Structure 1
Amino acid sequence: MIKTNDSFNIAKNLELVFSGEDYFARLETIIREAQSQIQLQMYLFENDATGKRIVNALKEAALRKVEIYVLLDGLGSLTFPAELIKELKYSGVNIRFFAPLFSTYTFYLGRRLHRKVVVADAKVALVGGINIADKYRGSVTEKPWLDYAVQINGEIAKPLQQLCHDIYFKKRHLRNKKIKSAFHIQEDTSVRILQNDWLKGKNEICDGYIKSIRHAKKEIIIVGSYFLPGIRIIRALKKASKNKVVIKLILSGKSDLPLTRRATCFLYGKLLHYNIELYEWNESILHGKVAVVDGNWSTIGSFNLNNLSSYGSLEMNVEILSESFSARFQEHLNEIIAQCQSITPESLKTKTTVMTKFINLVSYAITRIVELVVTYTPYKRFYN
């Protein structure tokens, strides 16, 4: 299904990482080889076989006197057992929850820690969209959810570790905490860490998407797991299409959120009208959030093209400017497309009935209302 060879290795400092054993073997190795400090920030951390594997690695690292700081989202990791938290703390692991769903002073809803990042010793980092759970690793009978991350080695990990440290300890003035510099991996490859945290004035990922789409000349490939873009993204895609740019969207054929998938289906007619190519991935659940533009610009991370990521959650992506990396990533995504079901105006008309149109419309309306509520709530809380 997915090739996980070393063709995405750029001077051993930048590697595309696939969901499945590829990601979790790397994560476990990073934890076991850490010598001084580990920062792990995750939306979902489940207490299943995969979660227990990572917990054991963290405990062993703590026994080596490695400083460990684990920050989990209060909603995504709501079921993380209290007894396991006690065990980790007893082992020396520092762990807390970001925006607990219920607290003494407020009811948190839309402002979530959605980023998935691990940094060790200010030398190596994993950034992407992959959570810690069996479904992302897969099994003999179940394919892993389709998703990606990036492993970065080198100086870029130092400011990233400091950023994670400041978020864990709730440092003030995080509005200005941006990793502004682009780090050069080699002559034709530079990497930037981008964040989205609208309440703190960070719109770097969303702006990066829009800028790259607007400046596209040849081809755009986007993998969108929960694809419900705002008007700015839609307008940028429409303009790119008018400029004869080939646009390919890889979307969910199977989804863990059926309502959201139905809402995305509501947009199919409009997207096809703009001459955008649509492809549905049916081999497993699609959870990836990546894009490649013109075989030169790539972005990989936790940011979904919807209002929840744009205005509610804390997100992190890696932006890569590299012909060598992006061209190979583009080739990989075209291999994924070859395994997808193509959605054309003809096939859409054949499988769409009056009832499915109505269901899609209602799903779209409900999803937009939910997005409005959960993104408006943290805004009011923040300013009150």
Structure 2
Amino acid sequence: MIESKISRIAPKSLELVYSGEDYFSRLETIIHNSQIELHIQMYLFENDATGKRIIAAIKEAASRQVKIFILLDGLGSLSFPSDIIDELRQDGINIRFFAPLFSAYTFYLGRRLHQKVIVADAKIALIGGINIADKYCGTPTEVPWLDYAVQLNSTIAQPLQELCRNIYFKKKRVSSRKIKSIFHVQEDALVRIIQNDWLKRKNEICDGYIKSICHAKKEIIIVGSYFLPGIRIIKALNKASKNNVKIKLILSGISDLPITRRATCFLYNKLLHYNIELYEWNQSVLHGKSAVIDGYWTTIGSFNLNNLSSYGSVEMNVEINSTVFSKMYQSHLNQIIAKCEPITLESLEIKTHFFSKFINLFSYFVTRLIEILITYTPYKRFYT
């Protein structure tokens, strides 16, 4: 378990990371600077230009005798070439798939390794929602998908590395231990690594959202790709609205999953009647999963506000209690909102006709049905 892993982080030891070159140059640097042990756990790893760039860095690290462990999701990285896997293994790199889609045991579908985590030498970690692929890095003709991560340069990376090792080697028991305060500085931050893995009774991210939303006093800003929350989060948002908390949702105007976006649109009318402000990001695909509440509490990671993340996937977020960090991130999100298209009851009425309402309704129920089938259909989920 890692639910109580807490550390006080000094400035520059906690950094917001943006999708695009910012993330991938940091990742490349972390790999190049690794000396002893490197863990990469990723949902999607594509063999495109960005993937090849990271693979080259990994091979170079292996040539320096760095112990490398790569864990990829069996569905998300299904297309990762077998010849590249063979090359990596020949270079002494440990690589395997989490819950292969087809195996000798069963047919896996619902429980996925959705977290995106890199840990090097128990000293530095990169955690967020960004996968390794061109669409997250961007190209000369395409803007990168909008997403975020957090870089931690701290001893909090030590138990995180232990967790990654245990996941890679399928150890069922992970010791629970607290990390005491490391730095006491003028602008300190309380940082927690939190997980969601419903099968193993870990609901820390979902519970953290609900608790923070219910206790909000002034303002909530949520970045919600694939936004289709369960009843508990909907009720929490409604409660916060009734308490006169200003709520802003940054949602997908462009999505790689059109049916999910349509399902989200079905909720617009209800959300607007809760006095929640809606903004659609149309400059690229929105893939971010984060929130800032009251300019103090921030969460960033792989957790989507939907039932798949709540009850199906293995997720990881960084939770940060810091006025300095949260206000900085809040300022950035307000700049994003300024570039979004606001959705109001009036604009919704103009752009939504009978047929589109039917498509939204149909998409909502189909998506919910798919979530139920994937998440709850019985199969041997304990094999990973």
TM category (shorter chain) comes to: over 0.9
The answer for the alignment partner of 2:322 in structure 1 is: 322
1:69 is paired with a residue of what secondary structure?
strand
The answer for the alignment partner of 1:362 in structure 2 is: 362
Q: Does 1:78 align with 2:92?
A: no
Superposition RMSD on alpha carbons, in Å? 1.5
Q: Does 1:254 align with 2:251?
A: no
Deviations 1:301-324 (A, max 9, x none): 000000000000000000000000
Letter in 1 for 2:285: I
Q: Kindly state the Cα deviation for residue 179 of structure 1 after the two structures are TM-superposed.
A: 6.7
- 2-side partners of 1:11 and 1:310: how far apart? 32
Q: Given the superposition, is the C-alpha separation of residues 381 and 114 from structure 1 closer, same or farther in structure 2, using an over 3 Å criterion?
A: closer
TM-score (norm 1): 0.95
- 1-side partners of 2:378 and 2:205: how far apart? 20
The answer for the alignment partner of 1:5 in structure 2 is: none
Deviations 1:11-64 (A, max 9, x none): 110000000000000000000000000000000000000000000000010010
Q: Given the superposition, is the C-alpha separation of residues 280 and 185 from structure 1 closer, same or farther in structure 2, using an over 3 Å criterion?
A: farther
Letter in 2 for 1:377: T
Deviations 1:303-352 (A, max 9, x none): 00000000000000000000000011001000000000000000000000
- 2-side partners of 1:178 and 1:338: how far apart? 43
2:194 is paired with a residue of what secondary structure?
strand
Q: Kindly state the Cα deviation for residue 87 of structure 1 after the two structures are TM-superposed.
A: 0.3
The answer for the alignment partner of 1:89 in structure 2 is: 89
Do 1:182 and 1:191's aligned partners in 2 also have CA atoms closer than 8 Å? no
Letter in 2 for 1:247: I
Q: Kindly state the Cα deviation for residue 173 of structure 1 after the two structures are TM-superposed.
A: 2.6
- 1-side partners of 2:103 and 2:214: how far apart? 42
- 2-side partners of 1:193 and 1:322: how far apart? 15
The answer for the alignment partner of 2:3 in structure 1 is: none
Do 2:42 and 2:73's aligned partners in 1 also have CA atoms closer than 8 Å? yes
The answer for the alignment partner of 1:337 in structure 2 is: 337
Mark the runs of 5 or more structure 2 residues left unpaired by the alignment: 1-8
1:54 is paired with a residue of what secondary structure?
helix
Q: Given the superposition, is the C-alpha separation of residues 153 and 47 from structure 1 closer, same or farther in structure 2, using an over 3 Å criterion?
A: same
Do 1:116 and 1:302's aligned partners in 2 also have CA atoms closer than 8 Å? yes
The answer for the alignment partner of 1:112 in structure 2 is: 112
The answer for the alignment partner of 1:4 in structure 2 is: none
The answer for the alignment partner of 1:172 in structure 2 is: 172
The answer for the alignment partner of 2:297 in structure 1 is: 297
What is the 5 A alignment of 1:75-224? 75-174=75-174, 181=179, 186-187=184-185, 188-224=188-224
The answer for the alignment partner of 1:282 in structure 2 is: 282
- 2-side partners of 1:295 and 1:376: how far apart? 37
- 2-side partners of 1:347 and 1:182: how far apart? 51
Do 1:220 and 1:292's aligned partners in 2 also have CA atoms closer than 8 Å? yes
Letter in 2 for 1:81: P
Q: Given the superposition, is the C-alpha separation of residues 339 and 269 from structure 1 closer, same or farther in structure 2, using an over 3 Å criterion?
A: same
- 2-side partners of 1:255 and 1:310: how far apart? 21
- 1-side partners of 2:14 and 2:114: how far apart? 22
Q: Given the superposition, is the C-alpha separation of residues 184 and 259 from structure 1 closer, same or farther in structure 2, using an over 3 Å criterion?
A: farther
Q: Kindly state the Cα deviation for residue 172 of structure 1 after the two structures are TM-superposed.
A: 1.8
The answer for the alignment partner of 1:372 in structure 2 is: 372
Q: Kindly state the Cα deviation for residue 92 of structure 1 after the two structures are TM-superposed.
A: 1.1
- 2-side partners of 1:27 and 1:179: how far apart? 28
1:127 is paired with a residue of what secondary structure?
strand
Q: Given the superposition, is the C-alpha separation of residues 327 and 362 from structure 1 closer, same or farther in structure 2, using an over 3 Å criterion?
A: same
Do 1:147 and 1:287's aligned partners in 2 also have CA atoms closer than 8 Å? yes
Q: Kindly state the Cα deviation for residue 377 of structure 1 after the two structures are TM-superposed.
A: 2.7
The answer for the alignment partner of 2:5 in structure 1 is: none
Do 2:106 and 2:380's aligned partners in 1 also have CA atoms closer than 8 Å? no
Letter in 2 for 1:372: I
Do 2:107 and 2:379's aligned partners in 1 also have CA atoms closer than 8 Å? no
Do 1:35 and 1:121's aligned partners in 2 also have CA atoms closer than 8 Å? yes
2:377 is paired with a residue of what secondary structure?
helix
The answer for the alignment partner of 2:306 in structure 1 is: 306
Deviations 1:345-378 (A, max 9, x none): 0000000000000000000000000000111036
Letter in 2 for 1:98: F
- 2-side partners of 1:44 and 1:291: how far apart? 23
- 1-side partners of 2:265 and 2:180: how far apart? 37
Q: Given the superposition, is the C-alpha separation of residues 222 and 183 from structure 1 closer, same or farther in structure 2, using an over 3 Å criterion?
A: farther
Letter in 1 for 2:56: N
- 1-side partners of 2:31 and 2:214: how far apart? 40
Larger relative contact order (CA 8 Å, sep ≥ 6): 2
1:22 is paired with a residue of what secondary structure?
helix
Do 1:11 and 1:185's aligned partners in 2 also have CA atoms closer than 8 Å? no
The answer for the alignment partner of 1:6 in structure 2 is: none
User: How much identity, in percent, do the aligned residues show?
Assistant: 72
Do 2:50 and 2:133's aligned partners in 1 also have CA atoms closer than 8 Å? yes
Deviations 1:253-311 (A, max 9, x none): 00000000000000000000000000000000000000000000000000000000000
Letter in 2 for 1:302: S
Mark the runs of 5 or more structure 1 residues left unpaired by the alignment: 1-8
- 2-side partners of 1:148 and 1:249: how far apart? 16
Q: Kindly state the Cα deviation for residue 228 of structure 1 after the two structures are TM-superposed.
A: 0.2
